[in-house]
Every structure is written in C-alpha cells, then in structure tokens.
Amino acid sequence: MTDLRDLVERDGPFLTALIPARSDVAGASERFGVQVRNALRPASAEWEDDVAEMTSDLEALDHGDGAALIAVRARSGPTFAEFIDQPVRRAELTEAPLPRLAPLIEARQRVIAHVVVEVDLAGADLVAFDGGGTTTSEQVEGDTEHIHRGHPGGWSQRRFQQRAENTWDENARDVADAVEHMVARVDARIVLVVGPTRAQSMLVELLGDRLSIPTHAVEAGDDEGAAAEIVRLVSDIAATDTKRLLDEFKERVDHRTSTSLEVTEALAEGRVETLLVHDAESSDNPGIVDRAIRQALLTDADIHVVPNVAILDDGLAAILRW
C-alpha cells in the first residue's frame, strides 16, 4: 500500500469522494460526468479551486474501468483516483483532516488474482485477472489431426480411438503447463476451468496434482452463468481470508488488543502487525478509524476491513507484533 502511505503523508485537510460509475446503462459516459459533478458539489467554498481541478481530472477517466470510483485530494494537491469493482448506491463526499481510505482498502482486499481457462480437447484460452482487470492472456493450440475419435469401423476402430485419446492427453498436458506458468507469474490463488466436460475433467485432474491452489470446474449453462459462478468462487476466497484473520485474532490471546485506546497506543509504538477496522464513523470518537489507518500505513502494519463484529471497539482491533 505504498501509494496510500504517500497519500496520508500529505498535509490535510482532504476531500474523499465515493462515486457510482455504472457502465451498463444508456448514456453511461454522460451519466458518469453528472455523478462526478453531483458528488463534489456539496464541498465547502474553500475547496472551490480544488473541486474544479478534481472534476476535470475525474471526468477525463474511462467510466467503464469499475463499478465505482474512489477519489481523494488534499488541499492544493494532486487528485488520487481508483476504480473499484463493488458498486455503490449513491455518491458520498467527506471533508476531514485525513482521507477516508477504509472503502478503498476493503475493495483491494477483495481483489483476488485468478486464472480462467476456457478449454476444449484441442487447446485452451487462458486469462489472468486481478480483480476486474485482465493482466495477461495466452492461447494454447494443441494438435488437431487426431482430435476426433471417428467411426472407421472394423479392426482399425480401436487404433483411431487410441490416437484421439493420446492427442487429448498431450493437449491437456500442454494446457496444464501453460496454466502452471501463468499461475506462478501472476501469483494466482484460484484457477477456474470452463468448457466441455471431458476436457474440463482432464485438466482439473492434471492441475490438482501440480498446483497448491484450488482448481474448480465451472459448471454453468451459458457465459452469464459461468461468469456469475466465477465471481462467487473468487468472492468466497476473500470471505475466507476475513474469517481466517478473525480466527487468528481469537487464537492470539497474548498478542492482541480490542480496546480502541490500546490499539491507538500500540499503533503509536509500532507494535501492530495487523489492524482490523470496520468502515463506520464512531459517534464517540469521530475520525478514529481514519487516524488508525494512517498510523498503520506509516508503521507498515497490515490493514484488513472486517464486519462490525463484537471484538471491535470504536471500529478497531489489532493483532500485535509483540
């Protein structure tokens, strides 16, 4: 999160805007421009020059790069902008001494690198994703000379069938090699395989012996169904990460704290290994989550946004280094 650390090192105050950026509607580009202007309009008068520059910067972006946009600007500073995959229902604008980074951190932690393989008996198309964006793609073209079993009949039928099955095996191994290399290259955490059942099962079996990450055969009737299933499987990994972290917190009896005062003190001393936060404003201690996130960034602590579970006090808890 080096870019976020650079951001919180700037002098405030800050404007933070969370803006819908739907691209699946008519006139999406014009709609996005309206959303940007409407989101920034409530800013105080002293932000007038910054809002003008910020509006120009954001309207120049491609509205199709995500379902929503998070934008941050310090007074007289550059505009920081990042699209996220999670949609938002309405625009939100915050003026505060520090930027509101919890929504952005939560969106990033949901970004799970994964590889999707569209396979058949002759080869495959491989695409690596980092969140909603394609990071790399590759095509594997196998041998097609004996790809069909055919039905020659008589004594030669078994020979032709064996040739076809040998070709399938060789092609599947070539695809598995390519998948293995792509997984290592992008540090993927899951592989999703779509395609005809026979080709799917051959590849999944090969990858199960080679990879230490899950490989799933995606069984869906059409492209839309397959896409929905892929999103669900990837989201499950993000949810599992959060559950694992909360379980770790419960187990680390001697290296944890769940009172906001103790978390704040531990952050100041650089003792926090992982900061757990919930993105909600505390009525008793406004801005405490933003301050904790800033201190965590400055001390190289990990940050994870979690549901509002009982262990949190003012939206904070921490796993300690010592």
Q: 259-273, pLDDT tens digit by residue?
A: 999 999 999 999 999
Report CA-CA distances (Å) from 79 to 14, 22, 50, 82: 10, 21, 9, 10
Q: What is the pLDDT at residue 139?
A: 86
> What's the pLDDT at 235?
92
State residue 143 phi and psi, 5-degree precision.
-75, 130
Residue-averaged pLDDT of the chain = 89
% of the chain residues with pLDDT over 90: 69
Instruction: Answer whether residue 224 shows pLDDT above 90.
Output: no
% of the chain beyond a pLDDT of 70:
91
Q: What's residue 143's pLDDT? A: 57
Q: Is the pLDDT of residue 126 over 50?
A: yes
Which sign does the torsion angle of CA 65, 127, 198, 155 carry? positive
Bigger pLDDT: 135 vs 105: 105
* Mean pLDDT within 62-81: 92
pLDDT beyond 70 at 288: yes
19 forms beta bridges with 69
The position carrying tokens 């933070």 is 16
- Tell me: pLDDT of 253 over 50: yes
Bridge partners of residue 119, in order along the sequence: 124
Whether 159 shows a pLDDT value over 70: the answer reads no
* pLDDT at 101 exceeding the cut of 70: yes
Q: What is the DSSP letter of 296?
A: H
- Report pLDDT for 131: 60
The Cα–Cα gap between 84 and 279 comes to 16
The pLDDT tens digits of the residues spanning 72-93 come to 999 999 999 999 988 888 999 9
Number of H helices, E strands in the chain: 9, 13
| pLDDT over 60 (residue 148) | no
Q: For residues 209 and 18, give the distance between their C-alpha atoms in angstroms, rounded to a whole number.
A: 44
What pLDDT, on the 0 to 100 scale, is given for residue 232? 92
Please name each of the domains of the chain with its CATH number: 2-100 (3.30.960.10), 113-239 (3.30.420.60), 252-320 (3.30.1330.30)
